[in-house]
Structure 1
């Protein structure tokens, strides 16, 4: 079996999604990029998670051509490809897309996910952005690729390594990381802080974001060269 490593990493991450509570039915997918081969593995479209095997992962090149695989790839594949092409230089190898409920609530409302407390600060160096509404022409032609482009537009002035997630307007969240396991963890963290934010804003609609100095402290104690959280 060719591309064994990314097939196994991709399959394992996709099979983890139901246990995280991030997906209902088959509403989610993970991709894993191999920079040495310039291909990525991704979940086949509409296949139940408990039926997935490494061999069922679809291998796609960066021009969108299927390199290996007998099944149709996820309908979100062009979005994954668009993001991997741009974000791989930041060390990002995996994209996760779900329809997790609290994050989707912010996406459907067209609201950024505000950084209200330290749980958010630990994973995201600021608010998680929401994309603009896609035009009729963008939806009609190459919709999934254009979804990637509007995400990139939202990140024109944001480092995707420091804010590793986005909310696509009227759609849902995408998250990413240097490995499939890290990308799934980030997707979980995104849903957790979205749930916390919904509850906070229901208690106090005018809650203010965490202070910049608190945000910096919590984010950089876990990330970057001066990080000291966890074990070396």
Structure 2
């Protein structure tokens, strides 16, 4: 198998990252999962976005084995793998990791991003969660895999498609969705709402955010069985 479809989708999504302004240097990666084949394609480690081709994408199975590709996969591959194992049945087909600056600011502060307005509510069904700090033994062990574990731990009882992003404490954001393009879109939306939140708190430090009824209205008109927004 040459995994042409997921390689092309993954390459296209990775190339889109710098166009959104979400990444500096090579600080970001996208993966795309094929649930039927049980494999995902991911950006190779440290390769400039402008040089990426579909053939460069590395294909990895859910046991962590490279099944196709001549380059080293992203160092974040174990985190992506952990998220597909946990969230794949919920419909997650793509994971994006960036170091986008406003979202990172919240992650570095160990702060969630509360739902302050309808832009946020259109994309996330409430507060964007932040993980706990990692323990020294997690950091010194299989760090990237354990990063995935703390995300999964934080999402206990949460639907990952209602909250398609997380802030890893002291590190940065991960976002996900049903396709590479959608995952990049939601990583971009996360950065936008993080930027808006920083500015809102600068104006009104005690802002308590929107009401539950307004949150429900904006999220549910775009998501779920009764959604009516869009074509």
Alignment TM-score, normalising by the size of structure 2: 0.99
Q: Which residue of 2 aligns with 1:102?
A: 102
**Whole-angstrom CA distance in 2 between matches of 1:104 and 1:161:** 21
Q: Give the 4+ runs in structure 1 shifted more than 6 A.
A: none
Q: Which residue of 1 aligns with 2:113?
A: 113
What pairs with 1:10-29 in structure 2 (closer than 5 Å)? 10-29=10-29
Q: Which residue of 2 aligns with 1:40?
A: 40
**Whole-angstrom CA distance in 2 between matches of 1:104 and 1:201:** 16
**Whole-angstrom CA distance in 2 between matches of 1:109 and 1:157:** 24
What pairs with 1:135-154 in structure 2 (closer than 5 Å)? 135-154=135-154
What pairs with 1:1-232 in structure 2 (closer than 5 Å)? 2-231=2-231
Q: Deviations over 1:178-197 (max 9, x none)?
A: 00000000000000000000
Alignment TM-score, normalising by the size of structure 1: 0.99
**Total equivalences in the alignment:** 231
Q: Deviations over 1:55-103 (max 9, x none)?
A: 0000000000000111110000000000001111011100000000000
**Whole-angstrom CA distance in 1 between matches of 2:213 and 2:157:** 20
**Whole-angstrom CA distance in 2 between matches of 1:170 and 1:47:** 24
**Whole-angstrom CA distance in 1 between matches of 2:226 and 2:218:** 12
User: Offset at 1:36?
Assistant: 1.0
Aligned Cα RMSD in Å? 0.6
Structure 2, unaligned stretches of length 5 or more? none
**Whole-angstrom CA distance in 2 between matches of 1:202 and 1:109:** 15
Q: Deviations over 1:138-173 (max 9, x none)?
A: 000100000000000110121101000000000000
**Whole-angstrom CA distance in 2 between matches of 1:113 and 1:152:** 18
**Whole-angstrom CA distance in 2 between matches of 1:209 and 1:164:** 20
SS of residue paired to 1:30: strand
User: Offset at 1:10?
Assistant: 0.1
**Whole-angstrom CA distance in 1 between matches of 2:12 and 2:5:** 11
**Whole-angstrom CA distance in 1 between matches of 2:208 and 2:79:** 33
**Whole-angstrom CA distance in 1 between matches of 2:82 and 2:210:** 32
